[in-house]
Structure formats: structure tokens, C-alpha cells
Amino acid sequence: MKYTITAFVENTPGVLNRMSDMFTRRKINIESLTVSETEQPEISRFTVLVNESKDKIEKVVKQLYKIIEVVRVYENTDEHLIAKEIALIKVYTKTPDERRTVEDIATIFDAHIAHVGNDYLILEKSGHENEIRSLFLMLKPHGVQEFVQSGRIAVQKEKNTDDPKITNDIVQKIKDTSRIVDGIEVSAIKRLQLMAAQDENIISLAQGIPSFDTPKNIREAAKVAIDKGLCDRYTAGYGIEPLRQALRDKVKRDNHIEAQASQIIVTHGAIEAMIITFIGILNPRDEIIFISPDYASHITQAVIAHYGARPIYVPLEEDKDWKLDPSKLEGAVNQHTKAILICNPSNPVGKVFTKKELESLVEIAKRYNLYIISDETYEYFTFDGSRHISVASLPGAAEHCISIFSLSKTYSMTGWRIGYSVTTQAVANQLFKVHDSLVTCPTAVSQYAALEAIEGPQNAVDEFRSIYIRRRQIVIDALKKTNKLKLVTPQGGYFAFIKVENDIDDYELAIDLVKHAAVAVVPGSAFGLGGEHHIRVSFGCEDENLIEGMKRLIAYVNKTL
Ligand SMILES: Cc1ncc(COP(=O)(O)O)c(C=O)c1O
């Protein structure tokens, strides 16, 4: 007799092994075993089709209860079940016409284009096995190169039992709070910073806070604005007009971006500009490609705005000085791709993207009609002759770009919370709706301070840059005292993204460093794919802290790794 066992299981390591091990030991005749996702990211659904006596099934299920959370056993007669399968089909498309035909077939069959290659498409189809078979037959003349099909995933048809009940404690856990937010952790940067703050002997090289005070002229401008009574009420939502005009002139002069003031929204830091962008342009199931390793908050923000979808990473090539490979970027594009996110200069790796790399990025954005979200928070901190280029300044790029800037690092104004976005009028109108709902307007006093920062003397920015060059050298010199750590010299920003030899678990190392060496750094895994086995050191802090912090770090790795 055929039975379908459906089990909802928490995603703990080794669960699939334990399950298949038990079936093998008991010599159960399995026809198929399929693992599929459920709406809850932490729970998977196992569908096992077995051909056994009722007796034996009962024993197996009892056993299963001991190792995993089995919810229900269905007797498998097809009229009681909705049975589905999933297939992946790789089809060659030699000409654009053929590609269009294959895309049309995919649409007719409601198949998802999972991947787009230069001369092939990979289609994903879920449905009844007959539907999959028909799709396969339609595609066959076009050159099916690979075809894989899952075992059946079956759910019972009867009323209220389509989705077998999940046990109470799981329901409780799920219903308490947002599952998406449950899945997000407070950034490793803040956690390490918090750990460091608990003990004054710990030196923090974790969070990227510049050690400088905000320049005096900026503080004074804020005081004057308060005394004049300019800061007591909400301002225009998109920012005070003189500031938007000053920013329009600044992006024209320094970034070579032509925009009207109406295309600029002054935000609560670059952080707000990013979240309104994600919320403003993404739909459920859309994907963003992150050129990684990438600033940790980009990733969590996209996940929040994106309703829990997975970020797609295209890692830079560390052994080629963090080079961007355009073919990898293009290979990651599929029909769900909405945007590519670039952090230039990059936090955490300190890369400054070349004109050629940016041109290839724009080419891809044009070809697939994608947005480019460009975070340029560290635009003024580039070294060794590297030149920061705003991607939106390249020919034909502006209509794809949402460029995000910040005053936080440039003028050492992290506490004032002012950033801004520059994009097309249509997208700016869209983002403004989100901005208005979230914050109403940026803080008034900070906007007057920002106006002075943009229009006043700029010598502080040059001074900060030369101090960062000196501090970067402190890190480079310290690293000469060990062969356990390797660094591609950062060309921008103020972070050193250091590779730890021996494939060490970077989270464990970061925790050990705080506990046993009294120095806080950020584990590289927090920055997405390509970040593992690295630690990030900020050289935004005072020289003496940096020297001592690096000394502790090097002593610890030399002793323990
Ligand atoms: C790449 C990047 N973008 C944005 C931010 C945050 O900027 P803001 O203070 O303007 O919100 C940071 C802060 O560390 C950053 O590193």
C-alpha cells in the first residue's frame, strides 16, 4: 500500500540525514522523498512516498516522532491528494527569436525563468506531473540540455486539511512577531560594539564611527538656526529648499550628475534613503543583486523591504584586488532581478570601482532594464590616486540609478543623521511617498547644519582624508608582524577587510578577540558571500587606539592560530 507521510520539520542541521538514516535502517521502501520550503523560513516540509504495510508505517511514524516533528500521515490515494512536482529544465536558445519562443512557452505553462544564461534559459515548473511532462515535450525541439524532477509533494484536499496543522509551540513562536524580522539579527557590527562598550578596557575597532568632532562652523550654523526659531516645526518633507538646491549644485560639481532639486530627497541618513528605495521599488519576489562583501545593513534592509526574499550575492574577486567580474554579475540576473546594489567606495572591502567596471554594470542594467542602487557614503575618502566615479554620471546611466549620499562620514556628522537620494523624477516621487509615511521630514536643525556643511569651507574633509591615509598605514604596518592575516590594501573608505588564514570561523574569532584580547572587530560573514573567514577593522578611531588594538589583535592571532 502506498502512503504519503508529510512532516513539518525545524531546519536543524542533519535532519535530512537522520530521517533518511531511519528509513534505511528499517528497510522502508521509499518511492520519493522531497524537501520543500514552507511560508516559515525556519520550517521545511518533507513529503515521503512509501510503499509499505499500514503496520510498518505506524512504527516508522512513531520512530519519526522521536527524531523530528511529524504532523500527519496521509494514506495516498490520489483522489484525496493534490500532488505536485517540481522540475528544472535547461533549454538552449540559439537565437533571440528562439529565446522569445521559449519564454512564451514558459509563460503559457506558468513556469518561472530561474536563470538566464548567454545561450540558455533554466525554467522551473511546479505542478502536476502531466503538466510538467507537457512542458517538457513543448521544449524538447528547442534542445533540452538538462532535466531534473523532484519527487511528489502532496497535500490532502479535504476542507481545512490542505495545510496540515503545525504543532502548537511552532504556531506560538510564529504568531508572536514578524517572521521576517525574527530571521534578522541585530547587526554583528552593533553587537560587537555593544560587547566592547561593556568594558572600558576593550578597544573597539568595530563600528565605523569617525573619531573627529563635527567641524565648528557646522555646529555654529545649527545654533544660529535654533536661535532664529527655524527648527521648531516640521520642514518641507523632502528637505528645506536651500539645502536641496545646494545638493543639486554639489552633485553637479562633484559627481557630474545633472538633476533638478526636485529629484533630491533629504533623508534621515543614507540609511533612510536606502530603506525608502527598497520599499519604493521592490515587489514581493523581486531580487536584488548585492556586489559582495557588502555593508551589512543593505542586506537586512532589503530583506525587510523585500518581504523576506533572499538576497543574491555576486562576490568580488579578492585575489584580483576585489575586481568585479561582469560575466558573474550578468549570470546572476534572472527574471526576478530588479536592481543591482553597489557600494562605492565599498564598505567593507575599501574598493573603489573603476570606470570600466561601472560601465559594464551600466551595460547590464540597460540590457535587462534594472535599477542601480549606488551607495556613495565614502565618496570623498579615496587614496593612492583612485578616483571615485558616480555611476549615475556615465552615459545613459542616470535613468537607472538611485544614488545615495551621506554627510555622516564626509563631515563627521554621524549623530546629525542627514543623507540624500538623487534619482529620476518618477522614482523620486515614488520614494517620497515612503519617506513621508516613515519620517515626515528630516530633523530641521540637522538640515541647517547640513546646509553649512555643503556650502561652507571644505578643508576638514581634506584633513580627515589625510588622517585616514596615516591610519591605514598603521594597520598595514601592524599586519607585517604576522603571516596569519592578509589584506588587499583598501583604496577608499576607512575599513581594512582582513583575510584570516586557516579558514577560521570569523564569528568565533571575533567573540574570542573581545573576550580574550580585549579588542572588538566585526566578523566578515556579516557582509554576505565572500566575507567569511575575514574580519573588518575600522581605522576611523584615534591613532593610539588603533595602534594598541592592532597590537592586541596580532598578538592574539600569532599565539592562537
Ligand atoms: C556604506 C554605508 N552606507 C551608509 C551608512 C550609514 O550612513 P548614514 O549615517 O548616513 O545613515 C554607512 C555607515 O556606516 C555605511 O558604511
Instruction: Say which CATH number the domain at 54 has.
Output: 3.30.70.260
pLDDT at 357: 98
Give which of 482, 514, 521, 422 is closest to 195, Cα–Cα. Answer: 514
Mean pLDDT for all residues in the chain: 87
- Please say if the pLDDT value at position 83 is more than 60: yes
User: What mean pLDDT is predicted for residues 424-444?
Assistant: 96
pLDDT at 74: 61
What are the b/e assignments for 468-494, b being 16+ CB within 10 Å? beebbebbeebbeebebbebbebbbbb
All three cell numbers of 78: 490520489
The answer to whether residue 493 sits within a structural domain is yes
Ligand 1 centre and the CA of 349: distance in Å? 14
Looking at the fold, whether 370 and 278 belong to one and the same domain comes out as yes
Ligand 1 centre and the CA of 442: distance in Å? 16
- Nearest-CA residue for ligand 1 atom 16 is 347
- Nearest-CA residue for ligand 1 atom 13 is 208
Grade residue 185 by pLDDT with cuts at 50, 70 and 90: low
Instruction: Write down which residue in 60, 76, 92 finishes a domain.
Output: 76
- 152-173 pLDDT, tens digit per residue, is 776 666 544 444 444 555 544 5
Closest ligand 1 atom to Cα of 347: 1
Q: Is 354 helix (H, G, I), strand (E, B) or coil?
A: coil
User: What mean pLDDT is predicted for residues 58-86?
Assistant: 68
Looking at the fold, whether 101 and 202 belong to one and the same domain comes out as no
Closest ligand 1 atom to Cα of 346: 1
Among 409, 417, 495, name the best residue to mutate to test ligand 1's pocket (greatest count of ligand atoms within 8 A of Cβ): 409
Q: Which domain holds residue 95?
A: 82-156
Ligand 1 centre and the CA of 132: distance in Å? 47
Q: CA-CA distance, 104 to 226, in Å (whole number)?
A: 62
Looking at the fold, whether 374 and 504 belong to one and the same domain comes out as no
What CATH number should be reported for the domain holding residue 516? 3.90.1150.10
- Please say if the pLDDT value at position 67 is more than 70: no
What are phi and psi for residue 355, nearest 5 degrees?
A: -60, -40
The answer to whether residue 162 sits within a structural domain is no
SS3 track for 320-349: HCCECCHHHHHHCCCCCEEEEEEECCCCCC
- Nearest-CA residue for ligand 1 atom 12 is 377
Looking at the fold, whether 278 and 360 belong to one and the same domain comes out as yes
- Range of 45-54, 161-170, 266-275, 526-535 with top mean pLDDT: 266-275
Ligand 1 centre and the CA of 499: distance in Å? 23
- Range of 46-55, 460-469, 496-505 with top mean pLDDT: 460-469
- Nearest-CA residue for ligand 1 atom 4 is 270
All three cell numbers of 375: 551607495
Residue 404 and residue 398 in contact, taking contact as beta carbons nearer than 8 Å: no
pLDDT at 154: 66
Give which of 206, 84, 56, 87 is closest to 157, Cα–Cα. Answer: 84
Ligand 1 centre and the CA of 19: distance in Å? 45
Grade residue 308 by pLDDT with cuts at 50, 70 and 90: low
Looking at the fold, whether 309 and 332 belong to one and the same domain comes out as yes
Among 271, 494, 497, name the best residue to mutate to test ligand 1's pocket (greatest count of ligand atoms within 8 A of Cβ): 271
Q: Where are the beta strands (DSSP E) in 97-138?
A: 112-116, 120-127
Instruction: Please give the torsion angle defined by the CA atoms of residues 374, 494, 239 and 306, in that order, rounded to the nearest 10 degrees.
Output: 40
Looking at the fold, whether 33 and 96 belong to one and the same domain comes out as no
Ligand 1 centre and the CA of 417: distance in Å? 10
Ligand 1 centre and the CA of 301: distance in Å? 12
- Please say if the pLDDT value at position 514 is more than 80: yes
SS3 track for 456-507: CCCHHHHHHHHHHHHHHHHHHHHHCCCCCEEECCCCECCEEEEEECCCCCHH
Q: CA-CA distance, 416 to 464, in Å (whole number)?
A: 18
Instruction: Write down which residue in 56, 76, 96 finishes a domain.
Output: 76
Q: How many helices (H) and strands (E) are present in the chain, helices listed first?
A: 18, 22
User: What mean pLDDT is predicted for residues 86-95?
Assistant: 89
pLDDT at 171: 47
Grade residue 307 by pLDDT with cuts at 50, 70 and 90: low
Looking at the fold, whether 396 and 256 belong to one and the same domain comes out as yes
**Number of domains making up the chain:** 4
Looking at the fold, whether 506 and 440 belong to one and the same domain comes out as no
Looking at the fold, whether 295 and 444 belong to one and the same domain comes out as yes
Sign of torsion over alpha carbons 69, 73, 76, 81: negative
pLDDT at 161: 43
Ligand 1 centre and the CA of 361: distance in Å? 22
Grade residue 310 by pLDDT with cuts at 50, 70 and 90: low
Ligand 1 centre and the CA of 28: distance in Å? 56
- Nearest-CA residue for ligand 1 atom 14 is 208
pLDDT at 78: 62
Closest ligand 1 atom to Cα of 271: 11
Percent of the chain's residues with pLDDT above 90: 57
Looking at the fold, whether 466 and 328 belong to one and the same domain comes out as no
Query: What is this structure's pTM?
Result: 0.71
Looking at the fold, whether 93 and 205 belong to one and the same domain comes out as no
Q: CA-CA distance, 535 to 556, in Å (whole number)?
A: 14
Task: Work out the angle at residue 255's Cα, subtended by the Cα atoms of residues 254 and 261, and round it to the nearest 5 degrees.
Answer: 95
Task: Work out the angle at residue 57's Cα, subtended by the Cα atoms of residues 54 and 60, and round it to the nearest 5 degrees.
Answer: 155
297: number of Cβ within 10 Å: 18
Ligand 1 centre and the CA of 377: distance in Å? 6
Grade residue 346 by pLDDT with cuts at 50, 70 and 90: very high
The answer to whether residue 168 sits within a structural domain is no
- 244-293 pLDDT, tens digit per residue, is 999 999 999 999 999 999 999 999 999 999 999 999 998 877 889 999 99
The answer to whether residue 381 sits within a structural domain is yes
Closest ligand 1 atom to Cα of 273: 11
pLDDT at 156: 62
Q: Which of residues 538 and 83 earns the better pLDDT score?
A: 538
- Nearest-CA residue for ligand 1 atom 7 is 270
Looking at the fold, whether 414 and 541 belong to one and the same domain comes out as no
74-78, 178-182, 356-360: lowest mean pLDDT where?
A: 74-78
Instruction: Write down which residue in 455, 477, 502 finishes a domain.
Output: 455
Closest ligand 1 atom to Cα of 378: 1
All three cell numbers of 303: 530583506
Ligand 1 centre and the CA of 213: distance in Å? 17
pLDDT at 225: 98
What CATH number should be reported for the domain holding residue 102? 3.30.70.1150
Q: What residues are in contact with ligand 1 under a 6 Å CB criterion?
A: 208, 269-271, 295, 343, 347, 375, 377, 406, 408, 414, 419
Strands 419-423 and 401-406: antiparallel
User: What mean pLDDT is predicted for residues 187-195?
Assistant: 71
